[in-house]
Amino acid sequence: VQSEQSEVIDLDKWKYVMKSQASFQEQRLSGNEGPSEDAGILNESGADLKDSSSLDATRELVSMWRQAGKLVPQEMTEEEVRLLADLTTKASRKKYLKYLAIKEGHKLSRKEKQQKKKAEREASVKEKRELDIGQNQDGHNFKNTIILQFWDRSLDKLLAWRTAQAMIFGQPLVFDMSYESNMSRRELENTVSQLLEVEGWNRRAPDPFHLHFCNLQPDGTYKKELVKRYGEETWERLLITTTKQHYIELFPREQLVYLTADSPNVLRTFDHSKVYIVGALVDRSIQTGLSLANAKRLKLATARLPLDEFLHWDVGAKNLTLDQVIRIMLTIKETGKWEEALKFVPTRKHDGFHQKLTQT
Amino acid sequence: QLPSFPKSVFAAGTAKKIARIQQKKASLVSEDEEEPQRRTNRGAGKLQPPERPLPPDEWRKMKESLGNPNSFDCQMMTSLVTAGSDLDIAKSLLTFVAMETGTLSYELLLRYLTLCVIGGHDDEVFDVYKIMRGSFPSMDTGASTLFIKSFSRTERWKEAVGILQEVKKVFTPSQRNYHDVIAAAVQHGDTATAWSLYDELITNGKIPHQDTWDALFTCVKKTKEEEEEPEHQEKLLRILLYMRNNQIYPQESVAVKIRTWFESLKGPKWTGGWSSITPKGVCRCCGSELESIQLSAEEYQELKDKVMTDVIQGRDVFNKTTPEELERFKVFVKRKPAFDVVIDGLNVANINKDKNKQSDTLLAVVSALEDQGLNVLVLGRKHMLRPSRFWSKHNMSLIQQKAHCFFTDNISEDDPFLLYATLHSGNHCRFVSRDLMRDHKACLPDGASRRLFFKWQRGHQLVIGGHVAPGRSIRFQSIPEYDTIVQTTGDSWHIPYDDTEDRSTYEVPLRWLCLTKKH
């Protein structure tokens, strides 16, 4: 029965289907491709043109990878293609494309969610309006309240007052922006994202630090990226101190303590009279001892957070993100309790606190 | 009972062997440790491929029974590839999809192509090639690689060269791509193409596959009768020199081919033999002496400078030490007479598991070396001088009497100082440490200086073998006097080769191919 059946099935039928399509496509292509092939010959002469042809080839390759089911973005900007073509190895190109694809995926899903929300909101507004019309006939459409609605603007004002006070009376906390040359573009972008969060957490704290961004070069990439992310106007009105000066010039040396995970000294108690320094650095390539070297050069005191002293460390590096560090510092400043402060260490990195484990 | 290790930490297979022994020990302690679960191949387990070609109706039924998944066709094709199914089944699937949707996706064809290439259906590959060329503007790297592989096996291998050129527009083709085409060219007697592609591969800075060498050494046997023979000979000898310069060792199969090639040469007769080398550096097969492990004067100076600039100072002196400390150390080394042995104090002290006897262990090693009349330097950190449970004051003062000592700051690294002190003292000076120094080797900027460092390390590192206990004499692993590298004297070749898969990157093979010319 089996052999009979396989005879019945025309196994090569798909070939005819594809071939008939192919001839169709060929006709279409030959109509289109004429001038572009000429351009290909011309390309050999001019360097500019050649450059653009290599970009086209790159674009084409990405499109074929997409068809082959690889993780690549649907759309790429001119700049992204250029960056991709500049990468030399296959691995680095794949990595970059994967990064773009994931980014694109997030963006799309966010848009989808926004649209869904918008539709829901419109539906509920409509519903409410219908209800209002019904109520209007009874004449009960006004609410009676003591205070005006508490707008976001009011909160912003309140927080701004607090941060302004911190700028006059608050304890300084320095971010050392001297690592521009030690980071790749991606790392620098990550650093700036973290700095944005740092400023946000600080602003919302009951007793904020007076943030200093030191060694911030006026024409450096840090500055450019920060201004780009905040927008010119907001950046100018930000309640932090930014300076191209070195922290050594701003504060007495004996007050300074450089926080670095490579330090041999443990920060046991938070000192309200010290100026703590945090390196504004994302280090994906494991450059051990980079900030410690800086502190050694300036003969500064150094300290690391008491992570091993309080936590059963499990996996991951001991260097924390900048936003985690500021939340830890804000909490320890407010409460003086490491158990409270170290709650901001990501839980995937440890198995809980020492005391808790001994209690149970 | 003590496990018996080969003589040196740098001998092939030692690392794996130690790892296995340690694993055994660990498994005795905790036997309930679970085996890590093997990840099942995605998609392969989900779909059961059919046993025979199905008519479209049955495919449709199967798809519907699975709830009409989106990528049913691709998933099914993947499971056919993993199961190594018959080509006809795959064809029937394609027919079903083509009838259902009116076309086939690139991804599906690519997977079908994989099935064809793995199954060796080269004629079918030609058809797929025509179809893919006709339907799609270009090919991705996966398809190119498969086509190159398949075309190279057939009479149409020249087209593979064309595809390779196409790949080059966007990418440097992989070693595997080059290998396929080179092997094809060799097979069809087109040695000119083979060599030009090989040269291209080398210029691109890629290290060729062992199989490529295998092919090239086989090829010349065929074209032996032709006139261009001297040129081929020279090129093949250049491969051997390439291995020498890059410290690459051929696999056993390649070594066999090399031997056969040498023995087939006309003119003075070559004889080959499988051999090993005595610790003194004499070939057990032909009795000649091998190249010394010692560095030449220029090499030595070069290495010394590189270690100073790249390992100790690096991009930032403060990373590993401070300028003051470095200066202090330089003055110290200059003031002292040249040392015979430099000891990594902390490393040696930690040989024994028992932490309480750190200073005892160090003292035992220092005394043993001092008894031999050697001028010893001990490098350590300042914390060792602070009397404690681990570091008794008495022992430390004895050590300081018997040897010169230099203590770095507690946050400085001591290894770079060890390297420099040893190199500074001259070619006769050795150092004692169990550390394989891989992180310091990695600080060197290029492959050549790393190989130089490794050669020096093999010739100058003393590794303590076995335990250190009071009253027991201290034994060091023997240092070979010869360099393990492809080498020639014109009338002879000595080629170390891999006969085991167990060699780690910082180990060297123990087996040799010995080739001698008889006059």
Burial of A48: CB neighbours in 10 Å, binned 0-12, 13-18, 19+: exposed
Do the beta carbons of residue B393 and residue B387 sit within 8 Å? yes
Residue B177 one-letter amino acid: N
Least CB-CB distance to A64: which of B131, B138, B411? B138
How far is Cα of residue B275 from the mean position of the Cα atoms in its chain? 22
Q: What is the pLDDT of residues B261-296, one digit of tens each?
A: 999 888 888 999 999 998 889 999 999 999 999 999
> Residue A357: is its pLDDT beyond 50?
no
Q: Give me the mean pLDDT over the A319-331 stretch.
A: 95
Tell me which H or E stretch contains A313.
strand A311-313
> Nearest 5°: CA angle at B219, between B215 and B223?
175
Of the pLDDT bands very low, low, confident and very high (cuts 50, 70, 90), residue A356 is low
Q: What is the pLDDT of residues A75-105, one digit of tens each?
A: 898 889 988 888 888 888 899 999 999 999 9
How far is Cα of residue B195 from the mean position of the Cα atoms in its chain? 25
Give the residue among B80, B107, B99 at the shortest CA–CA distance from A9: B99
- The shortest C-alpha distance from A325 to chain B (Å) reads 23
Do the beta carbons of residue B161 and residue B168 sit within 8 Å? no
DSSP state of A344: G
Question: Are A90 and B94 an interchain contact pair (Cβ–Cβ within 8 Å)?
Answer: no
Which residues on neighbouring strands pair with residue A276, listed in sequence order? Answer: A173, A257
- The confidence score (pLDDT) of residue A140 equals 58
Interface test with B, best of A62, A296, A302 (most B CBs within 10 A): A296
Q: What is the pLDDT of residues A127-147, one digit of tens each?
A: 888 887 766 655 555 677 777
What count of other Cβ atoms lies within 10 Å of the Cβ of residue B265? 16
DSSP assignments along B383-394, one per residue: GGGS--SSS-HH
Highest mean pLDDT among A326-340, A345-359, B410-424: A326-340
How far apart CA A308 and CA A318 sit, in angstroms, is 9
How far apart CA B421 and CA B439 sit, in angstroms, is 18
How far apart CA B92 and CA B115 sit, in angstroms, is 14
- The shortest C-alpha distance from A50 to chain B (Å) reads 11
- The confidence score (pLDDT) of residue B26 equals 79
Tokens at residue B175, please? 């070693």
DSSP state of A259: E
Tokens at residue A214, please? 């030191």
Average pLDDT score, chain A: 85
How far is Cα of residue B506 from the mean position of the Cα atoms in its chain? 8
Gyration radius of chain A over CA positions? 30
Percentage of chain A surpassing pLDDT 70? 85
* Residue the block writes with tokens 């059963």: A312
Sheet with A172-176, strands from edge to edge, namely A241-242, A210-214, A172-176, A275-279, A256-259, A301-303
Q: What is the pLDDT of residues A248-260, one digit of tens each?
A: 999 999 999 999 9
Phi, psi of B202 (to 5 degrees): -65, -40
Give the residue among B342, B275, B301 at the shortest CA–CA distance from B484: B275
Alpha-carbon torsion B423, B425, B426, B430, what sign?
A: negative
Question: Are A67 and B136 an interchain contact pair (Cβ–Cβ within 8 Å)?
Answer: yes
Residue B6 one-letter amino acid: P
Residues of A in Cβ contact (< 8 Å) with B75: none
Classified as helix, coil or strand, A266 is strand
DSSP state of B84: T
Question: Are B104 and A17 an interchain contact pair (Cβ–Cβ within 8 Å)?
Answer: yes
Least CB-CB distance to B53: which of A9, A21, A296? A9
CA atoms within 13 A on the CB side of B416: 27
**CB-based contacts of B7: which residues, under 8 Å, 6+ apart?**
B279, B477, B478
Question: Are A69 and B142 an interchain contact pair (Cβ–Cβ within 8 Å)?
Answer: no
- Threshold 0.90, pTM exceeds: no
The packing angle between helices B175-187 and B210-222, to 10°, is 10
How far apart CA B49 and CA B63 sit, in angstroms, is 12
- The confidence score (pLDDT) of residue B30 equals 58
Question: Are A60 and B105 an interchain contact pair (Cβ–Cβ within 8 Å)?
Answer: no
Question: Are B138 and A61 an interchain contact pair (Cβ–Cβ within 8 Å)?
Answer: yes
Low-confidence stretches of chain B (pLDDT beneath 70): 1-7, 29-46, 220-229, 355, 469-471, 519
- The confidence score (pLDDT) of residue B470 equals 65
Do the beta carbons of residue B146 and residue B128 sit within 8 Å? no
- The confidence score (pLDDT) of residue A39 equals 39
Contacts A–B by Cβ distance under 8 A: 118
How far apart CA A222 and CA A78 sit, in angstroms, is 24
What count of other Cβ atoms lies within 10 Å of the Cβ of residue B248? 16
Contacts 24+ apart (CB under 8 A), B360-364: B360/B392, B360/B395, B360/B470, B361/B468, B362/B395, B362/B399, B363/B395, B363/B398, B363/B399, B364/B468, B364/B470, B364/B474
Give the residue among B344, B513, B478, B446 at the shortest CA–CA distance from B454: B446
Residues of A in Cβ contact (< 8 Å) with B102: 17
- The confidence score (pLDDT) of residue A359 equals 46
Alpha-carbon torsion A253, A255, A259, A263, what sign?
A: positive
**Would you call B170 an interface residue with chain A, using a CB distance cutoff of 8 Å?**
yes
Tell me which H or E stretch contains A64.
helix A47-67
How far apart CA A174 and CA A256 sit, in angstroms, is 9
Alpha-carbon torsion B377, B383, B385, B389, what sign?
A: negative
Distances (CA, A) of B90 to A24, B55, B148, B197: 25, 11, 22, 36
**Would you call B143 an interface residue with chain A, using a CB distance cutoff of 8 Å?**
yes
The residue of chain B nearest to residue A33, with distances taken between CA atoms, is B137
Do the beta carbons of residue B8 and residue B463 sit within 8 Å? yes
Interface test with B, best of A4, A10, A11 (most B CBs within 10 A): A11
Contacts 24+ apart (CB under 8 A), A89-92: A90/B141, A90/B171, A90/B172, A90/B174
Alpha-carbon torsion A96, A98, A100, A103, what sign?
A: negative
Interface test with B, best of A7, A9, A51 (most B CBs within 10 A): A9
Question: Are B318 and A14 an interchain contact pair (Cβ–Cβ within 8 Å)?
Answer: no
Judging by DSSP bridges, how do beta strands A301-303 and A256-259 pair with one another?
parallel
Tell me which H or E stretch contains A311.
strand A311-313
Least CB-CB distance to A61: which of B52, B56, B170? B170
DSSP assignments along A188-256, one per residue: HHHHHHHHHHHHHHHHHSSS--EEEEES--TTSHHHHHHHHHH-HHHHHH-SSEE-SS-HHHHS-GGGE
Classified as helix, coil or strand, B91 is helix
**CB-based contacts of A14: which residues, under 8 Å, 6+ apart?**
B91, B94, B95, B97, B98, B104
* Residue the block writes with tokens 């390539």: A285
Classified as helix, coil or strand, B445 is coil
Tokens at residue A240, please? 């932090």
Partner A, chain B 407-436, Cβ-Cβ below 8 Å: 410-411
> Residue A163: is its pLDDT beyond 50?
yes
